[in-house]
Amino acid sequence: MVTLEINGTSKQFDVPNEMPILWALRDIAQLTGTKFGCGMALCGACTIHLDNEPVRACVTPVSAAVGKKITTVEHIEHDAVGSAVQKAWLDLGVAQCGYCQAGQVMAATALLKTTPNPSDEDIDEAMSGNICRCGTYPRIRAAIKQAASGVKSAESKQGAKS
Amino acid sequence: MSAELMLDASNQPDLKRRSLLKGLGLVTGLALTVGANGLVRAATAEEPKKFGGDAMPGGLKDDVLVFVSIDSDGIVNIVAHRSEMGQGVRTSLPMVVADELEADWAKVRVVQAEGNEAKYGNQNTDGSRSIRHSFEPMRRVGASARMMLEAAAAAQWGVPVTEVQAKQHQVLHKPSGKTLGYGELAAAAAKQKVPTAKALRLKSPAEFRYIGKLNTRNIDGRKIVTGATHYGIDTKLEGMLHAVIARPPVFGGKLQKFDASATLKVPGVVKVLELKSSALPPLFHPLGGVAVLATNTWAAIKGREALKLTWEHGENKAYESKAYRKTLENAARKPAKAVRNNGDAPAALAKAKQRFEAEYYQPHIAHSSMEPPAATVRIIDGKCEAWACVQAPQATLETVSAHLGFKPENVKINVTLLGGGFGRKSKPDFVAEAALLSQAMGGKPVKVTWTREDDIHHDYFHTVSLERLECGLDAKGLPTAWLHRSSAPTIASTFVAGAKGGAPFELGMSAVNMPFNIPNVRVETTEVPAHTRIGWFRSVSNIPHAFAVQSFANELAHKAKRDPKDYLLDLLGPARKINPDDISDSWNYGESPERYPLDIGRMRNVVELACKKADWGRKLPKGHGLGLALCYSFVTYIATVVEVVVADDGSISIPRVDIAVDCGPQVNPDRIRSQAEGACIMGSSLALSGEITFKDGMPQQSNFHEYEVLRIDEAPRDIRVHIVEHGLDVPLGGIGEPVTPTMAPAICNAIFAASGKRIRTLPIRDQLKKA
């Protein structure tokens, strides 16, 4: 029995310690927004946040998440950066089939949290673990830049108010 | 052996193979291939030949009562009868209906059709033809609904229908200014007579609100970024079991024995079941093997790892890619069956002062959509219901009902979103697996998930090919003779055991319909066997053919010391329209040769446009090069100019791509752009690293570390799409596939310009790397 805090709610899971978080999310918690793509941390479709750090849920055992906060794509709109990323994704029509985009959104959100104004090289480094077979990379790059400016302008508005 | 004989020789469940094959263009294909000695001639048809959507199984339907319903709160429900796999069809087709219907896009709900071609018309989502075939029927559906709403309002007000007009979700009585909302009119409108074809009034293009505009967002966009979408892999049912399957590792092999004792000790594993392997041809049958069913996917995967399996590998166990390339080369270096013969190419070749020849190799490639195949099936009281990511729901229905021994009316196929398809998900073998397992478990819901390793190992691979080109040249370096010998296992082998030789629908993709203005042209197909499941992959045979033809054209230009663009335009010759029948192309993407001739003017135009936008001929830094390629496919005209950089160490990057697109009129311009961008990246990925190799009958790549696909840091950085404007007087073309085949030749031609190194074997990988 392990206790996992997922999207702000703690729950007990009767699963082996070594079960990857991905399958606990998808098959036990019924949160299917996090996707299976490779099972080897090669494609990033399963990217979640563990205490705000992007991790690949397909190779991270549930035991590694005990005492930490798991955030999935289902909850990321409650995060200011996550919500700016989602908006930019919609504004630029990034998604094609959309399957990898949960992982892309989570990876981009994690990037912008640590690097609010990413260069192309920063984007390459943070996003090259996330495969998109439809080929939405140019729009992903543009949307990250747009989200970055969105986050900044929201912050400056916040600053002006306070 | 006649085509009929072959079609009847099935020892498989009745899969309505004839309609299945017809849908693939294979019935005609086989009749032509088998029936003709040497040259292909059009079959004598008993009835007038049908084209386009009318020729597809199920045809086209435009019944407003099937496609549209309006709720009393004003929500307009529009049925999407094609599968969404990233091309935007769940937005684009309902958007056409909504436009004619004068619906407010914010009040539109899209309802995904289940598999039922008798009701919805053809649902095969492939061949870049959803918009091409369904645009007009969907316009008629929307216009019918609009007129029924107007008639209902006029009746309610007791005024002539000529005094009322539907506009943005309400009907207005012009003289009085009275209005009624669509929700208020819904019940009465549904009782109105459906307008006759003669009475139907379509909008004029000037009245379009969404068609050709940028104001309709992806209907699933919000769900995608919040993780609320339902793909094939996401189905959740009460009491559902999760299955993974160990399949025969060599195509055509089968299980000899297995020991599941360790598997049954894995916590969560519920059951281990043997699945019988089907006899050949493979069609859409499950491959057989051993299924592990568990309470969660991970337990099923661990359980499968614990199986002890002994396989009988069968007759393909020696399949090896290097040796097979020799087989293809040997076949391509001997005369083969002619499929086009204009003039006398062999005689002209013999006479030519200068000759040039080259061979181009394209390996097998795997689709590897980000969502691997996955399906869930349950059976209650003799009725089967499936949820699956399928491009061909009707073929899925037929496959599942045949395997279960159910009548089709007792099988329902719910089409989920597809996490990519690219042709793989036209083959519903994985749905039949789930159906058989559910049946074996007394109808319990069973989800079958393919791991990435399963997906790559057991794909319906894009064919491997060797394309040989020979030319005789005149004093100016222009060809007097052209001989193209195509050597590749055929997709037909997936449907007819032992089928060999290119089918018309394969050869009609940039081989037989080669458009150059050359007096003596001969195209031949060799007959080589398939040793794995061969399937269609985004743009299909255009991939190897365009690579060969467009690379060869570039080689000839350099040989003649000509600018490659000017030379390509000379090869095309003057603007004119070619009837595909005149160059032995009986297929023409299923379209009418009169309505869709090969338009050399449009080919010249896209070449000019791409080059103009790319500033062809501009001065470039050392190590940079521009490459051009043209491909006409799926009745769309594409020219692509790629800029590559070959670094000192031989590594390659692609800073910029300019793509000229002429796909006729634009229905959803942003999705045209996104398809062009995506196909550019996928085509680049195939060219740079796409390769599946076989050894001992088995694919040697297992996951993305071995089957490498392009990532963001390696992808073309600046992709510019330039779309030719047309009115509705020009027929629609496809857009999902046509950019793909231009990429490999454009990149390789650019590499030559940058480095002087000619790539004739794909993928490019590290061929330029210095040791």
Q: What is the ipTM of this complex?
A: 0.96
Domain boundary among A71, A104, A128: A71
Do A56 and A24 belong together in one domain? Answer: yes
A-chain CB neighbours of B419 within 8 Å are: 35, 97-100
Do A94 and A112 belong together in one domain? Answer: yes
pLDDT computed for residue B575 by the predictor: 98
Do A89 and A59 belong together in one domain? Answer: no
With a pLDDT cut of 90, the percent of chain B lying above it is 93
In tens, the pLDDT along B38-90 reads 333 344 446 789 999 999 999 999 999 999 999 999 999 999 999 999 999 99
How close A95 gets to chain B, by Cα (Å)? 7
Average pLDDT across chain B, whole number: 94
Do A8 and A60 belong together in one domain? Answer: yes
A-chain CB neighbours of B715 within 8 Å are: 135, 137-138
pLDDT computed for residue A159 by the predictor: 53
pLDDT computed for residue B34 by the predictor: 31
Decide if A90 and B449 are in contact by the 8 Å CB cutoff: no
Q: Is the separation of the CB atoms in B501 and B540 below 8 Å? A: no
Low-confidence ranges of chain A (pLDDT < 70): 154-162
pLDDT computed for residue A151 by the predictor: 76
How close B360 gets to chain A, by Cα (Å)? 25
Decide if B369 and A77 are in contact by the 8 Å CB cutoff: no
Domain boundary among A47, A71, A95: A71
| Chain A residue nearest residue B656, CA to CA | A138
Helix, coil or strand: residue B98: helix
pLDDT computed for residue B5 by the predictor: 27
How close A144 gets to chain B, by Cα (Å)? 13
| Chain B residue nearest residue A18, CA to CA | B298
For testing contact with chain A, the best of B370, B654, B719 (most A CBs within 10 A): B370
In a 13 Å sphere around the CA of A42, the CA atoms on its Cβ side amount to 17
In Å, what is the CA distance from B289 to each residue of A13, A129, B11, B521, B664? 32, 33, 20, 48, 47
In tens, the pLDDT along B460-469 reads 999 999 999 9
pLDDT computed for residue A82 by the predictor: 98
pLDDT computed for residue A157 by the predictor: 64
In tens, the pLDDT along B650-684 reads 999 999 999 999 999 999 999 999 999 999 999 99
Angle CA A65–A70–A73, to nearest 5: 145
Do A89 and A58 belong together in one domain? Answer: no
Do A86 and A154 belong together in one domain? Answer: yes
Q: Is the separation of the CB atoms in B606 and B515 below 8 Å? A: no
Do A157 and A98 belong together in one domain? Answer: yes
Q: Is the separation of the CB atoms in B493 and B26 below 8 Å? A: no
Q: Say how many C-beta atoms besides its own lie within 10 A of residue B718's C-beta.
A: 11
pLDDT computed for residue B23 by the predictor: 44
Do A60 and A84 belong together in one domain? Answer: no
In tens, the pLDDT along B278-305 reads 999 999 999 999 999 999 999 999 999 9
Do A130 and A150 belong together in one domain? Answer: yes
Domain boundary among A24, A46, A71: A71
Helix, coil or strand: residue B435: helix
Angle CA B50–B54–B56, to nearest 5: 95
What six digits make up the tokens of A41? Answer: 């941390």
Do A122 and A67 belong together in one domain? Answer: no
Instruction: Report the C-alpha gap between B643 and B188 in whole angstroms.
Output: 60
Decide if A138 and B719 are in contact by the 8 Å CB cutoff: yes
Which CATH number characterizes residue A121's domain?
1.10.150.120
Which CATH number characterizes residue A29's domain?
3.10.20.30
The torsion region of residue A161 among left (phi > 0), alpha (psi -120 to 50) and beta comes to alpha
Residue type, B605: N
Decide if B703 and A33 are in contact by the 8 Å CB cutoff: no
Do A93 and A31 belong together in one domain? Answer: no
Instruction: Report the residue from B217, B218, B370 with minimal CB separation from A131.
Output: B370
pLDDT computed for residue B770 by the predictor: 77
Q: Say how many C-beta atoms besides its own lie within 10 A of residue A10's C-beta.
A: 9
Decide if B417 and A33 are in contact by the 8 Å CB cutoff: no
The torsion region of residue A28 among left (phi > 0), alpha (psi -120 to 50) and beta comes to alpha
Do A56 and A20 belong together in one domain? Answer: yes
For B157-178, letters b (16+ CB in 10 Å) and e give: bebeeeebebeebbbbbeeeee
3-state secondary structure B508-568: CCCCCCCCCCCCEEEEEECCCCCCCCECCCCCCCHHHHHHHHHHHHHHHHHHCCCCHHHHH
Decide if A100 and B710 are in contact by the 8 Å CB cutoff: no
B-chain CB neighbours of A23 within 8 Å are: 296-298
Low-confidence ranges of chain B (pLDDT < 70): 1-46, 771
| Structural domain harbouring A116 | 77-161
Task: Identify each DSSP E strand in B153-207 by its residue range.
Answer: 164-167, 170-173, 178-181
A-chain CB neighbours of B217 within 8 Å are: 90, 93
- Domains within chain B, CATH numbers bracketed: 3-55 (no CATH), 64-226 (3.30.365.10), 232-315+373-449 (3.30.365.10), 321-365+460-755 (3.30.365.10)
B90 by Cβ neighbours in 10 Å (0-12 / 13-18 / 19+) ranks as buried
Decide if B681 and A135 are in contact by the 8 Å CB cutoff: yes
Residue B408 per-residue DSSP state: G
| Tally of domains within chain A | 2
pTM: 0.95
Phi, psi of B271 (to 5 degrees): -160, 150
In Å, what is the CA distance from B70 to each residue of A115, B99, B171, B188? 48, 15, 14, 11
Decide if A74 and B222 are in contact by the 8 Å CB cutoff: no
In tens, the pLDDT along B196-214 reads 999 999 999 999 999 999 9
Helix ranges (H only) for B194-274 are 221-226
